[in-house]
Amino acid sequence: AALQDRIAPNSSESVLDALLKREELMSTGIGLGIGMPHARHEAVDKPIIGIGISPEGIIDYDSIDGNTVQILVMILAGPGQHRMYITLMSQIVKILKSGENRDNIVVSADSPHDVINILKKGF
Protein backbone atom coordinates (compact mmCIF):
# COMPACT_ATOMS: atom_id res chain seq x y z
CA ALA A 1 0.00 0.00 0.00
CA ALA A 2 1.15 3.52 -0.69
CA LEU A 3 2.36 5.58 2.26
CA GLN A 4 -0.57 7.97 1.78
CA ASP A 5 -2.95 5.06 2.35
CA ARG A 6 -1.33 4.16 5.69
CA ILE A 7 -1.21 7.54 7.43
CA ALA A 8 -3.81 10.13 8.37
CA PRO A 9 -5.12 12.16 5.40
CA ASN A 10 -3.06 15.20 4.39
CA SER A 11 -0.10 14.16 6.56
CA SER A 12 2.40 12.96 3.94
CA GLU A 13 4.31 16.22 3.89
CA SER A 14 4.63 16.48 7.68
CA VAL A 15 5.72 12.82 7.88
CA LEU A 16 8.42 13.52 5.29
CA ASP A 17 9.46 16.58 7.32
CA ALA A 18 9.79 14.40 10.44
CA LEU A 19 12.02 11.94 8.54
CA LEU A 20 14.19 14.77 7.20
CA LYS A 21 14.50 16.42 10.63
CA ARG A 22 15.63 13.09 12.08
CA GLU A 23 18.22 12.78 9.33
CA GLU A 24 19.50 16.30 10.10
CA LEU A 25 20.25 15.24 13.68
CA MET A 26 22.54 12.46 12.50
CA SER A 27 22.73 10.30 9.42
CA THR A 28 20.74 7.10 9.64
CA GLY A 29 23.34 5.39 7.46
CA ILE A 30 24.38 2.79 10.04
CA GLY A 31 27.08 1.11 7.94
CA LEU A 32 27.27 -2.16 6.03
CA GLY A 33 25.33 -0.57 3.17
CA ILE A 34 22.25 0.04 5.34
CA GLY A 35 20.25 3.24 5.83
CA MET A 36 17.39 3.31 8.34
CA PRO A 37 15.46 6.56 8.10
CA HIS A 38 12.95 6.56 10.93
CA ALA A 39 10.57 8.82 12.81
CA ARG A 40 7.57 8.84 15.07
CA HIS A 41 4.59 10.87 13.98
CA GLU A 42 1.05 11.40 15.28
CA ALA A 43 -0.42 10.60 11.85
CA VAL A 44 0.75 6.98 12.09
CA ASP A 45 -1.62 4.58 13.86
CA LYS A 46 0.36 1.34 13.22
CA PRO A 47 4.08 0.98 12.50
CA ILE A 48 4.98 1.22 8.82
CA ILE A 49 8.06 -0.25 7.18
CA GLY A 50 9.16 0.73 3.68
CA ILE A 51 12.12 -0.88 1.92
CA GLY A 52 14.19 0.45 -0.95
CA ILE A 53 17.08 -1.28 -2.70
CA SER A 54 19.80 0.42 -4.74
CA PRO A 55 22.27 -2.21 -6.02
CA GLU A 56 24.63 0.51 -7.28
CA GLY A 57 24.43 2.28 -3.90
CA ILE A 58 23.54 5.79 -2.79
CA ILE A 59 26.84 7.66 -2.68
CA ASP A 60 25.91 10.77 -0.68
CA TYR A 61 24.01 9.15 2.18
CA ASP A 62 26.72 10.12 4.71
CA SER A 63 26.81 6.64 6.21
CA ILE A 64 28.78 6.21 9.42
CA ASP A 65 31.33 3.94 7.68
CA GLY A 66 31.58 6.15 4.58
CA ASN A 67 30.27 3.42 2.28
CA THR A 68 27.35 3.66 -0.10
CA VAL A 69 23.90 2.62 1.07
CA GLN A 70 22.26 -0.20 -0.87
CA ILE A 71 19.39 -1.10 1.46
CA LEU A 72 17.05 1.53 2.88
CA VAL A 73 14.57 0.53 5.56
CA MET A 74 12.21 3.33 6.56
CA ILE A 75 10.33 2.87 9.82
CA LEU A 76 7.44 5.07 10.93
CA ALA A 77 5.55 4.67 14.18
CA GLY A 78 3.06 6.62 16.24
CA PRO A 79 4.06 8.54 19.37
CA GLY A 80 2.74 5.83 21.74
CA GLN A 81 4.51 2.99 19.94
CA HIS A 82 8.04 3.46 21.29
CA ARG A 83 8.59 -0.16 22.31
CA MET A 84 7.44 -1.54 18.93
CA TYR A 85 9.49 1.12 17.12
CA ILE A 86 12.70 0.16 18.95
CA THR A 87 11.99 -3.56 18.59
CA LEU A 88 11.45 -3.25 14.83
CA MET A 89 14.66 -1.28 14.38
CA SER A 90 16.76 -3.68 16.43
CA GLN A 91 15.33 -6.80 14.73
CA ILE A 92 15.91 -5.39 11.27
CA VAL A 93 19.48 -4.41 12.12
CA LYS A 94 20.08 -7.89 13.51
CA ILE A 95 18.79 -9.47 10.28
CA LEU A 96 20.75 -7.12 8.04
CA LYS A 97 24.03 -7.56 9.92
CA SER A 98 24.27 -10.88 8.13
CA GLY A 99 26.22 -10.43 4.91
CA GLU A 100 24.32 -13.37 3.47
CA ASN A 101 20.97 -11.67 4.13
CA ARG A 102 22.21 -8.38 2.62
CA ASP A 103 23.51 -10.19 -0.48
CA ASN A 104 20.26 -12.12 -0.81
CA ILE A 105 18.32 -8.86 -0.72
CA VAL A 106 20.56 -6.79 -3.02
CA VAL A 107 21.75 -9.43 -5.47
CA SER A 108 19.38 -12.39 -5.39
CA ALA A 109 15.91 -11.04 -4.58
CA ASP A 110 13.77 -10.83 -7.71
CA SER A 111 10.66 -9.34 -6.14
CA PRO A 112 9.35 -7.48 -3.09
CA HIS A 113 7.98 -10.85 -1.93
CA ASP A 114 11.53 -12.29 -1.90
CA VAL A 115 12.78 -9.38 0.24
CA ILE A 116 9.89 -9.76 2.67
CA ASN A 117 10.59 -13.49 3.01
CA ILE A 118 14.27 -12.86 3.76
CA LEU A 119 13.30 -10.39 6.49
CA LYS A 120 10.54 -12.60 7.89
CA LYS A 121 13.01 -15.46 8.42
CA GLY A 122 14.83 -13.29 10.93
CA PHE A 123 11.78 -12.41 13.03
- According to DSSP, the β-strands at 69-77 and 38-40 are parallel
Catalytic residue check, 41: no
Query: What whole-number distance in Å separates Cα of residue 5 and Cα of residue 92?
Result: 23
CB neighbour list of residue 116: distance below 8 Å, 6 or more residues apart: none
CB atoms within 10 A of CB 80: 11
Which sequence positions are flagged as catalytic? Answer: 38
